[in-house]
Structure 1
Amino acid sequence: MPDIFINYRTADARFGAAATYELLAARFGRHRVFLDNQSIPAGMPYAAELTYALEVMRVLLVFIGPTWLGDDDVTPGRSMLHRPGDWVRQEIRRALQRQVPIIPVMLDGTSIPDERLLPPDVRPLVRHQAMEVRHDMLGTDVGRLGDRLAALIPVQPGATTPPQQLPTQLAAFVGRTAEMADLTGRLSEEDGDTPGVVVLCGTPGVGKTTLATTWAHRVRHLFPDGQLHVNMRGFDRRGALSAAEALHGFLTGLGTAPEVIPDNLDDRAALYRSIVAGRRILVLVDNVHSADQVRPLLPGTPLCFVLVTSRTQLPSLAVREGARHVPLDVLTDSEAHLLLSKRIGSDRIFAEPAVADEIVARCAGLPLALSIVAALTDQRPGPLARVVHELGQERTRLDELSFGDDDLDLRSVFSWSYQRLSPSARSLFHLIGIHPGPDISHESCLALACTDDARHAIAELVRSSLLVEHVAGRYSLHDLLRIYAAERAEFDTEAGERQSIRHAIADHYLRHVTAAAHWLDPNTAKIRRDPGEAPGFANYPDALAWAVGEHAVVLAVTEFCAQHGLDSHVWRIASRSNAVLRRTGRRRERVAVHRAALAAAAHAGDQLAWATAACELASALARLGEHVEARSLLDAALPVLQSADDQFGMLQAHLSYTRVLDAQQQHAAALQHARAAFELADAQDEPVSRADALIHLGHQQAMLGRHEEALAVCTEALQHYEDLGHEEGQSNCLLTIGIIHQELREYRAAIEHYERSYTLDRRLGDRYWEAMSLDRLGDVHSLLGHADAAVRSWSAALAIFDSLHHPEADRVRGALGAIHRQGDVSGSTEADPGPGKADRRVRRDR
């Protein structure tokens, strides 16, 4: 959505406007700067595109050069501005009407025109503070203009900025001159309507990722709309990343709200192509194992460029998508020597040239092996000949990962490095080899190492190139190193010690998930705490940030626990992860984790745990529309809970029934279960459960048209949530109460409750529900005839929906268009509102 609109007259300031556009687009992103001949795609209706940009712009730049007024060749003696249909005049007039900031941009010393020469409707232009842009000082002047614009239109909370997902590039990159030139040359190949796709292919460890990342950093200035990156883990024992998961990361990186990301792969791919259409984005897809894995990630616009790395050539990409291949070979002898020289110092190479030649030969020019050797020699001062001797001794492991040269075996290199580690670093290496998930945080390393010198151990592993800090505070291993680390743990520790490590990992994440759940979902926190001191989070944002940041690891830990017989950890982690899975829109992942919990409980023979997992799985299935299975699970779970007289479990089962039946619109049956839940909660000392039961009860009454009863019940629930400090529950109640008041035509009360709900959601950072509250406010103000207030509310809601790429934006945009078509909004008066329009479903899944 463009924020900056450039107004200019072609005959007067075409080139000044174009040069300024390029500089501003590089700073703010092309999607935020509008220049008609750059921003309107070929074939699109000019007037409609221009009109839309005028309605959403946040600042207008009016470029004024020496011939800006222009002579009207139809009416001599009159300027072009006096033509009613003159676009320059129309654009300025609309900006004045909308009262958006206007900056006259005076080119090369041009003076502000005499207002007497202007048509009356644009004369206020001359009273706006101007700025100067000179051709010989273009960079400086546009920089000052950009600073002013940045102050006028800062990025709003929730607004997207161009993604910059490229990994950190390595400092010791050498050679690859021909390949780098080849890749750069592909950028200039015009190929019609399809994006450029290049597959960088070669043997494992040959440096595909290093080359791709280095090149991408060097050309990223050519892609001002952002750079996307994903590791598809195509050759990884943890399993390949699916195209759907990769698209989820791309879409969230592009600013899409998780809750609106489609579950279906084709729909995700279509949304992704729509978002990147018309934008210049570099896409780096790393470590791909098949064409099917990467095909859904290809944009549909020729402005984008896709670089894929793979151990295979992916021939079907060449056949179907016209992908070009850039094969990557081992380093030449001169390049390998240069790499060693940069890593260990040229003086050591010059001191023993023959030995250096031998190292290069034994590493077969493989960058990974050369890097490991360099790290080893750097960690152990002394003659290089000793390194050659050690590398020639061990050839008994990782046979399948030999690169075909008898003088090079990666297992030998890894083992030599491992033997040089201190005891604490070696223990940490074991732990990381056992640890599941794509990476591990610095905090987790420190907590799980359980030694005073853990920080030194981490630093030692990083220095030894056995651990990479791929983003600040998070570490990962190269695929081969991870396999080797797991193997070393298997060979060098006893079975009991390995199982202790597994327990420590499971306990660590269970404690953190439980602590996060205390903030994210107070109801979950009421479940029995686990032994051991739980870490504390200072506030809700800290807990949410941890849960989102560790999401992939926690899911992997759940699977890890199931694989190693830690059944109770599976269902407890699953239960405490429920809130973050729900709020981030990961509906299918939520179902998967609760299925794992159900299986683990069945394996352990724990009937109560099984029944609890069944209730949580049923609620998750209801969100996917799998009502039959959900009902079947609840029908089996409730008798188990009843026979055990588990009052809390029965309460949760009835709430799950209510959610499932509500999703099926069986409100009378749902109401019966809501009543049963309330009766159980009323008999227990569980205030959160009582409030939950009340809001379910009130919601079902409202759905059945029993608004007076519903209002009383929801008001009581709200009081409970307020007493508990439960802000999400309060927001839920306030929105529901607002809708009830709207249905009762009590519009003042509806406005009050919607505004309070909006304030809470804004504090919680829940952008979607913040927009929904604003949307509801717009509805009520419109019903009351308060057009100005309706426009303000709907405009704010539209800004959020647009930033989230949410489909509700079209409906709100339509409402705004309708109210503008009715006439002068500032002259509106209160009218007979008629019946409310609160028929959209709003129940939150708690």
Structure 2
Amino acid sequence: MPTNQPGNRDDTARQVNRLETSGTPGDVVQARDVHGGVHFHRSEPNTGAAFTVTPAQLPADVRGFINRHTELAHLTGVVTADPAEPLAAAVTVVTGTAGVGKTSLVLHWAHRVRHEFPDGQLYVNLRGYDPGMPATPEQVLDRFLRDLGIPAPMIPIHPDDRASLYRSLLADRRILVILDNAATVGQVRPLLPGTARCLAVVTSRNRLSGLIARDGAYRVDVDILREDDAVALLGNVTARYRTHDQRHELVELARLCARLPLALRIAAERAASRPMMHLDELIADLRDESGLWDALSADGDDDADVVRTVFAWSYRALPEPAARLFRLLGLHPGNDFGLPAATALAGTDTRRVRQQLDVLVGAHLLEQSAPGRYQFHDLLRAYALDQVRHLETPGTRTEALGRILGWYLHTAHSAAARIVPFDRYQLTEPIPVDVHSLTFDSYETALRWCQTEATNLVGATRAAAEADLHPLAWQLAAVLRGIYLHRNAFDDWLATSRIGVEAAARDGDRAGQAEALESVGKACFQARRLDEAEASHRAALTIRQNLGNRFGEAKSINALGMIGLRRRDLSAARSLFDQSRAIFGDLGERRWEALMRTNLAETLCALHQPQVAAEIAHEALAVFRDLDDRFGVGNALFVLSRAQLGLGDLAGARTAIDAALTIAEDDDNPVWQAHWLVELGAIQRAAEQPAEALISYQRAASMQRRLGDRSREAFAIEGAGQTYERLGRLDEAVDFYRAAVSTHRDLDDRWNLARSLAHLAGALAQQGSPEQARPSWEQALPLLADFDDPAAESLRQRIARALTAG
């Protein structure tokens, strides 16, 4: 018997009950709270804000750690045995001179006490003394919030709001937060938890007295090592290779290194690498280097001079290929990098560069942070940059910088080919000679590279602009927009786009300026800042029209059409898509013309014209199939399924959406899949298949949460509410509708907020609570004033009838 026949509601309800109690994880979705969160089990549906991630971000412990018993005891003293009890001090500042071992001390201690912080450990290098750009509180909060499970679009734009959300997430948790290499109090204070159950440990060369005076921080001073400990550290490294060294020689070597651990490790490694050379000869070399540095240095910072002396002593002992690579790495636009990037910078082959990196790591001039990844201590990066500026010609530096920035540009372009194959920017900047960009075999590997290199991609865009390599800067911004579209990294997206706009303007490149403006517009569109998006796209449109760039003009008109569709200004959207389609048709751009047909068909669906929409979607589908454009085919099938659902052709709609989802799954593209699953849920709901619909909505909501698209997540949540309402499960329906209402209100989405409020009011009225339903009806009605399409008019009439009856 078909499930839509009378008397089968009990059967479908039993089917849903079996699904919900089967114990199969991830098979149902439930409203979690009014902020739009979801969870996938039956217990505690309203437990507060989602907090599903336990960060474990401590870098590796230090090998061969020596003593520091007093400092370790001071740090441990602030930790209470009972996690429920407040800490003796919620902020601890570890301070000392450069190279004294502050980071090593804190990380060694943190690994010993990590069990005292069961809710996790957050770590960030604030790069306060790095030659490049230090990390800003806004950037760190963005990263911490993501690491704590907050999807990107849920991260507030304003820094104070980010800090407030961060403190709220940590309020009932026991988390260790390590803020390494801070330069100022202002860099730190927004990152401090607001609870005495969490501990923030800050390392700095400065004393950060403001944290002690205002925030009650506890200070741990780290001095140079005692003589015995310094000698022991040297011995830890050299003992296996040098058995004949005398204690007085080790004492003298330690003295020349100012008993600073960073300098001691570098000196010990040099001694260990020359086991047949007498230590007094090495000491004489170091004394000579010290005398040379003293003659050249006049800043009076004795500890810093000692460290630089040891750097120079070790650097001069390097083979020239390794020394050259060390210098060139000072030009890299970020603190950490991979082997392929180093190879591009060197302009040689991977095998040689790997060998040279091993030499630098062995000399303690570079750290290996992960397999295939390397990073500098900030002092060493500054030294490398100083060496490349003094020892390489301007032409050599420019060529090296062009190689690494070109590598980032072309590798990002390759990543975009996997992530957004339907909307790639075509590069005009050639790849440098002897540089080989990476290629990617899947969406996931491409996106993973982009995530790993996120900071470097922003740094590369900025470095290109600062070096007056303007085409590189704005083309990076253009390439990255498609990648950021799938990462929802709004801060990075907007930063690179604005750098691109300025770089193109300085270069007098109007076409480049339009490309970068398009990037700004798309970033603002994704962040639901539609007024800013419109202003950027209109500026790009004006430039393109003045240049006679018809293709770019059509793209800008399409972008404005998408803004109209998002605002539900459907008449304007329809007109703009028609204009764009006509231009693409004149240019013979079949793919883009077909894409405009798809956008037009989606608009017609919203205008309740499913028959015309289906005809146009069929036309677009035929073109995409002829062009073998898989995204185009999938998107046209999705719109076609929506039109067929509007026509009541459930079988046709199901066939179309299944075919679209097969493409998304085969191409391993979660963005398409998550979007199209909501449509599958709607079709299943219309076909009286509630259990299957709930599975589709659950999958869609879960994927959208991971992707960070709050708006589409809310559509899935609302669909689950409609399914429960259809089953007569009104309590669950109300929970889901309230979650959707909250999200649409946060996003200032007036149309979808009105729809969700109407759904909520309808469910409350069915519960026999007309007095609770009325405020939702009353809130929904004025939201519809800006909309004049048939769906809006129908909803207005429905609300008016409900208010009159109630």
TM-score exceeds 0.5: yes
Distance 2:114 2:720 in 1: 34
* 1:830 matched residue in structure 2: none
* 1:706 matched residue in structure 2: 609
* 1:435 matched residue in structure 2: 332
Deviation at 1:477, TM superposition (A): 0.7
* 2:494 matched residue in structure 1: 591
1:579 aligns with 2:482: yes
Deviation at 1:174, TM superposition (A): 0.7
Distance 2:599 2:295 in 1: 60
Pairing partner for 1:404 from 299, 302, 321: 302
1:484 aligns with 2:383: yes
Pairing partner for 1:606 from 470, 492, 509: 509
* 1:124 matched residue in structure 2: none
Pairing partner for 1:188 from 72, 80, 85: 80
* 2:321 matched residue in structure 1: 424
- Aligned CA distance change for structure 1 residues 688 and 540 (closer, same or farther; 3 Å): farther
Aligned pairs (5 A) from 1:116-515: 162-188=54-80, 192=85, 196-276=90-170, 278-300=172-194, 303-345=197-239, 348=242, 351-381=245-275, 382-393=277-288, 394-396=292-294, 399=297, 403-404=301-302, 409-452=306-349, 453-515=352-414
* Stretch of structure 1 that moved more, 266-275 or 417-426: 266-275
Q: Report Cα offsets for 1:627-650 as digits up to 9, x if no partner.
A: 555545544443543454333222
The one-letter amino acid paired with 2:347 is C
SS of 2:78's equivalent in the other structure is helix
Deviation at 1:176, TM superposition (A): 0.8
SS of 1:228's equivalent in the other structure is strand
The one-letter amino acid paired with 1:173 is F
- Aligned CA distance change for structure 1 residues 320 and 419 (closer, same or farther; 3 Å): same
* 1:689 matched residue in structure 2: 592
1:98 aligns with 2:21: yes
Contact kept? 1:737, 1:753, Cα under 8 Å: yes
Distance 1:653 1:374 in 2: 61
Contact kept? 1:174, 1:339, Cα under 8 Å: yes
Contact kept? 1:622, 1:663, Cα under 8 Å: no
Distance 1:687 1:299 in 2: 55
Distance 2:369 2:540 in 1: 44
Contact kept? 1:797, 1:812, Cα under 8 Å: no
The one-letter amino acid paired with 1:500 is E
* Stretch of structure 1 that moved more, 390-399 or 676-685: 390-399
SS of 1:789's equivalent in the other structure is helix
Instruction: Give the share of equivalent positions with the same residue, in percent.
Output: 31
Pairing partner for 1:822 from 729, 732, 737: 729
Deviation at 1:566, TM superposition (A): 0.8
Deviation at 1:488, TM superposition (A): 0.5
Deviation at 1:480, TM superposition (A): 0.8
Distance 2:55 2:240 in 1: 39
Deviation at 1:96, TM superposition (A): 11
Deviation at 1:494, TM superposition (A): 1.2
- Aligned CA distance change for structure 1 residues 187 and 640 (closer, same or farther; 3 Å): closer
Contact kept? 2:605, 2:643, Cα under 8 Å: yes
Deviation at 1:389, TM superposition (A): 2.1
Contact kept? 1:276, 1:301, Cα under 8 Å: yes
* 1:645 matched residue in structure 2: 548
* Stretch of structure 1 that moved more, 411-420 or 517-526: 517-526
- Aligned CA distance change for structure 1 residues 359 and 757 (closer, same or farther; 3 Å): same
- Aligned CA distance change for structure 1 residues 772 and 402 (closer, same or farther; 3 Å): farther
SS of 1:200's equivalent in the other structure is strand
Contact kept? 2:242, 2:272, Cα under 8 Å: no
Q: With the length of structure 2 as denominator, give the TM-score of the two structures.
A: 0.76
Contact kept? 1:698, 1:709, Cα under 8 Å: yes
Contact kept? 1:755, 1:773, Cα under 8 Å: no
Q: Count residues in correspondence.
A: 680
Contact kept? 2:429, 2:472, Cα under 8 Å: no
SS of 1:421's equivalent in the other structure is coil
The one-letter amino acid paired with 1:787 is P
- Aligned CA distance change for structure 1 residues 702 and 820 (closer, same or farther; 3 Å): closer
Pairing partner for 1:680 from 578, 583, 590: 583
* Stretch of structure 1 that moved more, 371-380 or 641-650: 641-650
Contact kept? 2:614, 2:640, Cα under 8 Å: yes
Distance 1:401 1:477 in 2: 23
- Aligned CA distance change for structure 1 residues 339 and 422 (closer, same or farther; 3 Å): same
Distance 1:292 1:821 in 2: 55
SS of 2:179's equivalent in the other structure is strand
Distance 1:541 1:684 in 2: 34
Contact kept? 1:167, 1:471, Cα under 8 Å: no
- Aligned CA distance change for structure 1 residues 535 and 767 (closer, same or farther; 3 Å): closer
- Aligned CA distance change for structure 1 residues 519 and 781 (closer, same or farther; 3 Å): closer
Distance 1:666 1:101 in 2: 43
Deviation at 1:593, TM superposition (A): 1.6
Contact kept? 1:372, 1:464, Cα under 8 Å: yes
* Stretch of structure 1 that moved more, 737-746 or 244-253: 737-746
Deviation at 1:675, TM superposition (A): 1.7
Q: Report Cα offsets for 1:249-283 as digits up to 9, x if no partner.
A: 22333344334433333443344445455444332
CA RMSD of aligned residues (A): 3.6
Contact kept? 2:414, 2:438, Cα under 8 Å: yes
- Aligned CA distance change for structure 1 residues 204 and 765 (closer, same or farther; 3 Å): farther
SS of 1:283's equivalent in the other structure is strand
- Aligned CA distance change for structure 1 residues 372 and 760 (closer, same or farther; 3 Å): same
Deviation at 1:522, TM superposition (A): 2.7
Distance 2:428 2:114 in 1: 49
Aligned pairs (5 A) from 1:54-133: 98-100=21-23
Q: Report Cα offsets for 1:369-416 as digits up to 9, x if no partner.
A: 21221122223331222232222233159958865359x522221111
Deviation at 1:428, TM superposition (A): 0.9
Gaps of 5+ in 1: 1-93, 103-157, 826-837, 842-846
The one-letter amino acid paired with 1:681 is F
Aligned pairs (5 A) from 1:732-771: 732-762=635-665, 767=670, 770-771=673-674
- Aligned CA distance change for structure 1 residues 524 and 753 (closer, same or farther; 3 Å): closer
The one-letter amino acid paired with 1:395 is W
Deviation at 1:434, TM superposition (A): 1.1
Deviation at 1:745, TM superposition (A): 4.5
Distance 1:505 1:96 in 2: 54
Distance 1:307 1:751 in 2: 55
Contact kept? 2:257, 2:264, Cα under 8 Å: yes
The one-letter amino acid paired with 1:384 is L
- Aligned CA distance change for structure 1 residues 321 and 610 (closer, same or farther; 3 Å): same
Distance 2:107 2:24 in 1: 41
Q: With the length of structure 1 as denominator, give the TM-score of the two structures.
A: 0.73
Deviation at 1:719, TM superposition (A): 4.1
Distance 1:497 1:384 in 2: 37
- Aligned CA distance change for structure 1 residues 512 and 361 (closer, same or farther; 3 Å): same
Distance 1:728 1:257 in 2: 25
SS of 2:524's equivalent in the other structure is helix
The one-letter amino acid paired with 2:570 is H
Deviation at 1:752, TM superposition (A): 4.4
Distance 1:490 1:258 in 2: 39
Contact kept? 1:232, 1:285, Cα under 8 Å: yes
The one-letter amino acid paired with 2:163 is A
Distance 2:548 2:636 in 1: 30
